[in-house]
Structure 1
């Protein structure tokens, strides 16, 4: 049971990437549109006052806010596509149809039973307008629930075909036929089940906010501690995209979730001060500053004979964390060799968020310095207190440095560059991968890399499924005893996680390129 539950959570976490990773793009474009409508910037750059430019900015930021108010549909389709094993486009199309059936079935049922509140009393009633249809306000949770159900039915019946006159009703059409009564039945059930669930969710959000700094610390701690399992997405997603992270009415629209509220607020020039719920998206502090101090500590404590080699690795990983907010290459450099450092990192990450809250800092940088500049600088100091974010970050970098250095030296931890002289420094082999990319080795570079990866995974016959998320190659392996972790690290991986038959190989931002090379090598085409 435990194994099945873990596998299911792993699959769900992986499927969440489809909708979750697209939302920061919307946020960036909202912030970019805000540049064109910023009054202070217009004083410095008068051309921004031109109606065409100002209008473009308003259209860009204003139109993308609609994504934040329709997250149920986005998560429904995204999860269905992410969890579908094949024919993903059919799964996405079916998800849209199922979502429409559900909301209209609920509206009709509630109307028949006189459960709908007057349109002018929606605020605080637990009901909302979804795609122009009044239903119970389930927000992102509706999309998650329906997306999972669509994916389960799709995976079970999408390849079921009939003969003769019934042939038309097989495959993806059969999936939709089965889903119609399920959606109608769910609409009736949730009409009565969801209100108490809604109350429980609201109470959870209130409890977390009521615990103040302790709740913030716990959030920051778990956000890092769960990284090895890949389940940290299940920690931050509810805060960022559901009412657990806060509810606010902005521009006449009800917005749920800390990040969504932030995006909506930066698009509304009338907002004088950003919401306090944004603190739950302050994960950028340790990404931009703390881990830089950790990298410097590991470099200074490395053996003199290995400093030259380790410098390139640590600089590359630190820059990736700073610029793109991708921390795993650096975190995995000490996660397995010195897990106590990872615990310290998790604790310091949570404490950093608490300090930001104490000083009332609302600046964020969830995906590194580029996000930080686009989100915060145009809004000004009054809204974000971004200079204090930088100051606290610099202090955090110093704290990271001294704590990491103390633990490494006192406990003689085998961080990169401190291995025995006879041992290979695992992360240095990234140079081999770079050499292959540049064609310095004979043969096809991508083919050589893919062959090495496949061989290290026990061969093509040992691989059941290949997938990837933002930074990890995710695989299902028949026999994990055949997995050569040292060889995988020789292809540029900064970490390898083996859990039952699930194997995750951490490559960082180049994972998409490696996934494609492996797919090509194995002859996997299309989906």
Structure 2
């Protein structure tokens, strides 16, 4: 039961990637739109101060803010697609239909029961407008619930077919037929029970916010500490996209979640000071600065004969972390061989958020330096205090460097370049892989060694399902004990392997999509 629950949670965490990874794109475009309407920038670059560019910026940022006000729909479709085992497009379309049925069913039931609030403002009533329909304010949880329910019904009935005149009602159409009464009943049920959940959610948010820096520290620490399980997304997502991360009215629109509030505030030039809720999204210090210090320390502590190889491995990993905020290639290099370092990393990550809060810094860099520039610099120093963000980052660069260097030396930790047998803690570069191919260890011409990946996972017959998230190949295996971890690392370029029961995750970094496609093609052949 424990293994089944863990696998289900990991599948759900992976499904969350679909809507969550779209939202930063919207945020970046909002920031770009804000550039063309920023008063200080227009003063510095006069040729941008014209109706065409200002109108473009206004339209771009204003139109994309609508994504933040419809997160329920976005998460419903995204999660249904992510959890669907087959025919994912049909699952997403069915989730959209189910969402429309739900909000209108809840609205009609609340009208019949006399519980719809009548007034000019819904603020503080626990109700809101969703796509022009007044319902209980379930926020992003509505999308999460409907996404899960739709995926379950879809997986259960998508293969149902009928004969003769009823054959047109099989497959995805039958899924929708089954889903209609389910979501109608859910709408009625939540009309009664959601106010109770609202009070719990609001109380939890008040407790965390009321606990001040202690709550902030735990949040930042857990967001890193849960990376080995793949469940760290479940820590930060509610704070970014629900009332746990704050509730703020921006431009006359009531928004929930630190990311939503921040995006709306950078699009609204009338906002003078960014709200405190943005601190829940200030997770970039360890990515842009801390782990870079760790890489420098690991390089300096590498054995002399291994320094060139360590440099070739650590520099690309550090650049990826700094620019794009992808930290797993670095973290998995020491997570299992030197877990004390990963624990220190988690503590420092939480501590960095506390320090930013103490200095009243409102700048963020959740996805690396590119995001940092686009989100913060256009808003100016007064709103974000972004120079202080850099100052704090440099301090944590030094903390990571000296702590990692000291612990590696004192405890003789086997980080990159210090391994005794050369096999277990290395990140293998593409150059090394090409050398292996040329030396005869690999006679194929494919860039991705799909056959070796499959063999190292116990063979095609051992693989039940193949999927991937942002950086990891995720597979369900019949016998996980057949996994050859050392071969995955030495011959396929994997930087880490995490096994949780039958669920095995192989870390490949940003190239995981090409790895997944190659494995799929190999299995199909």
Considering the TM-score relative to the shorter chain, is it more than 0.5? yes
Distance 1:15 1:439, change over 3 A: farther
> CA offsets per residue over residues 311-365 of structure 1, 9 Å max, x none?
1111111111000000000000000110000000000000000000000000001
Does structure 1 residue 429 correspond to structure 2 residue 417? Answer: no
Determine if contact 1:34/1:266 at 8 Å carries over to the other structure: yes
CA distance in 1, matches of 2:435, 2:414: 28
Counterpart residue number, 1:484 = 484
- Give per-residue Cα distances to partners, 1:281-332, cap 9 Å, x unaligned: 1111110000011111111111111111111111111111000000000000
Greater alpha carbon shift after TM alignment, 225-234 vs 454-463: 454-463
Cα distance change on mapping 1:119 and 1:91 into 2, 3 Å = farther
Cα distance change, pair 458–366 in 1 and its aligned pair in 2 (3 A): same
| 8 A contact 2:312–2:429 mirrored in 1 | no
Q: Shift in Å at residue 439 of structure 1? A: 8.9
Match of 2:516 in 1: 515
Distance 1:434 1:267 in 2: 46
**Deviation of the 1:484 alpha carbon:** 0.7
Structure 1 contact 417–425 (Cα < 8 Å) conserved: no
Counterpart position of 1:19: 19
Match of 1:178 in 2: 178
CA deviation string 1:411-466 (max 9, x = no partner): 1111111111x433642533456528999988653366111111111111111111
Residue 95 of structure 2 is aligned to residue 92 of structure 1: no
Q: Within 5 Å, which residues of 2 pair with 1:343-492?
A: 343-420=343-420, 422-424=421-423, 426-431=425-430, 435=434, 444-446=444-446, 449-490=449-490, 491-492=492-493
Q: Alpha-carbon deviation of 1:186?
A: 0.7
Query: Aligned in 2, Cα 1:436/1:471: closer, same or farther, shift over 3 Å?
Result: farther
Q: Please give the residue correspondences for 1:2-13 in structure 2 after superposition, counting only pairs within 5 Å.
A: 2-13=2-13
Quick one: distance in 2 between partners of 1:381 and 1:80? 41
Extract unaligned runs of 5+ from structure 1: none
Name the count of aligned residue pairs.
523
TM-score norm. by structure 2 comes to 0.97
**Distance in 1 of aligned mates of 2:394 and 2:388:** 10
- Partner of residue 327, structure 2: 327
User: Does the 8 A contact of 1:447 with 1:517 survive in 2?
Assistant: no
Provide the C-alpha distance between the structure 2 equivalents of 1:323 and 1:435, rounded to a whole number of angstroms. 26
CA displacement at 1:254 relative to structure 2: 1.0
Q: Does the Cα contact within 8 Å between 2:428 and 2:495 map onto a contact in 1?
A: no
Contact residue 479 and residue 502 of structure 2 kept, 8 A: yes
User: What's the secondary structure of 2:36's corresponding residue?
Assistant: helix
**Structure 2 unaligned regions, length at least 5:** none
Pair 1:448–1:65, CA change in 2 (3 A): closer
What is the match of residue 498 of structure 1?
499
Match of 2:428, SS state, is: helix
Q: Kindly provide the CA deviation profile for residues 147-168 of structure 1, in whole angstroms up to 9, marking residues without a partner as x.
A: 1000000000000111122212
Matches of 1:266 and 1:290 in 2, distance apart?
A: 27
Take 2:22 and 2:444, find their aligned partners in 1: how far apart are those partners? Answer: 33
Q: Go from structure 1 to structure 2 and tell me whether the alpha carbon gap of 1:45 and 1:157 turns closer, same or farther (over 3 Å shift).
A: same
Q: Are 2:127 and 1:127 equivalent residues in the alignment?
A: yes
Q: Take 1:515 and 1:423, find their aligned partners in 2: how far apart are those partners?
A: 27
Name the structure 2 match of 1:66: 66
Whether contact under 8 Å (1:426, 1:486) holds in the other structure is: no
* 1:241 matched to 2:241: yes
Change (3 A) 1:437 1:473: farther
Hey, what's the Cα distance between the residues in 2 that align with 1:213 and 1:161?
A: 56
Tell me by how many angstroms 1:374 deviates. 0.5
Moved more, 438-447 or 29-38: 438-447
* Equivalent residue runs for 1:22-171 within 5 Å: 22-171=22-171
Cα distance in structure 2, aligned partners of 1:438 and 1:224 = 36
Query: Which digits, 9 at most, give the CA deviation of each residue in 1:505-525, with x for residues without a partner?
Result: 11111111111111111128x
Match status 1:307 vs 2:307: yes
- Structure 1's consecutive aligned runs of 4 or more residues displaced over 3 angstroms after TM superposition are 422-426, 431-434, 436-445
Question: Do structure 1's residue 201 and structure 2's residue 201 form an aligned pair?
Answer: yes
Cα distance change on mapping 1:282 and 1:299 into 2, 3 Å: same
Change (3 A) 1:246 1:428: closer
Contact 1:430 1:493 in 2 (8 A): no
Change beyond 3 A, Cα 1:371–1:434: farther
Query: 1:289 — aligned with what?
Result: 289
3-state secondary structure, aligned to 2:11: helix
- CA distance in 1 between partners of 2:452 and 2:508 (Å): 14
How far the C-alpha of 1:275 sits from its partner, in A, is: 1.1
RMSD (CA atoms): 1.6
